[in-house]
Structure 1
């Protein structure tokens, strides 16, 4: 975490991400606006999450309780983004709150875990196709509710997962560039006829790498994913995150050097949709246009005003991407 970034700057930088993930913008601005120092981030956001746990406990209906539990899970997840000595606890609380929410709102949802992954399978139990939602460097299965809902309402089954170095597994595992090995385990566990991948941020690299090396992937969407990383050009905040999630600087440098789709993109045999925002300009990160161009069945959707994760431009891409992968799989 950059020691020079103020709480106000950090909150502003994450505003579209938070609102895109479903946090109420007024509550977000109120909670983060009270921070005098960035070191208070984790404590304040966990307090907001516990407020929703309390509301869930007082709710008179299961649906109200479940919705508050979902919101609590989001707040716990966002508590992990700032400096927080209790980051592992916040991730575990997010996982628990989401499980409680699904018990109330979607009792048919199934918890599926393996050596390097954990997540929830939601939607029609008899669906022939499953879309796996893959998070990024500091995101988790609790973040992308809007993406998951867009897929579910189109009749797909959805597996929202944490992999190595992500979410509830971040405290005990480290990021790995050969993510296709994890996706292979997920596909084995799901037992679905057709599997699609929907990756966001670093998850965009993960799904492209997996689509190139795992022949059972039938379609993939990469949103704000890196084509290549250059360690020396990365901002301190991103380097710090990589060091945390890779369990050391040497491992982080090695990981960054492996994030390069130049030779893998031409090997992606399945349909691939790449979504980028024109305002997503992170030093040291090559965006996804070369991936779409080099992949044999790649398509490119560029939203000029979109930021990283395009949280400020949901109407311009989310429905289209959900329609695209639904058609590709069914």
Structure 2
């Protein structure tokens, strides 16, 4: 397993120069099994020391707890990182999902809250989280453009939206990057979203590049997901039948990874690193050992034959189950 400490290569994402791999902070405060806060804090700081420049969170992660943790982690290191957070998914005080919003007042309010929780005077990337069916994305982008003019936001980004929405948004204000789920078992953005991003000079930030942990090979059954609070219990791909049928995909990756002395996670990340020099994966972890494993993939060179073998091992048509339950699937890729 490669875990060397070589400096990370960099990638051009829109106008930004980023480390080739960023750090997603979703698993640090919510949605998965409860992480150890001290270890999560140490993981962020280790990532910065290893040269990771993009740190990604969202205002809904831990109902703001994720932003507070990240703010604490970057204190004294602010000039070494680019902070990315999101706005648009509304949850009540109990954490229940209330819907997707993009109105000006809401975006401004949430931006000020994110700045306060992070303890910073500006956000490097501010990401509009999803778009509701029929949502006027132009209003959200106009609000984000105002925040840019005020110096509170440096770059406007989008998440999990369609190619048409990207075009409409970019016509209002330049979009620096689109953050969407992209991995060996989530390839939906390849047909339209990635091409339009490249046409418009927009970078791609690949979220959930390890299939929400599935591509690590450490999830063999529903029991491995841990407590009921882990939101993957509600995802079709992680149901008893979904996991059972999807295990063959990881089984097919294992021998390919072993030939290169890699873990399945490293091979999956290396495959994604080869999808373009404008792609930055942001695997999420709250543990330093998993961080080292993930970063070990950033300098793995795969041959054309190896890339083809990986793609053949996990064909998109072989993945069983949707990414989200039906009510959430209606809210992505609009």
Q: Higher helix share goes to which structure?
A: 1
What TM-score, normalized by structure 2, do the two folds share? 0.34
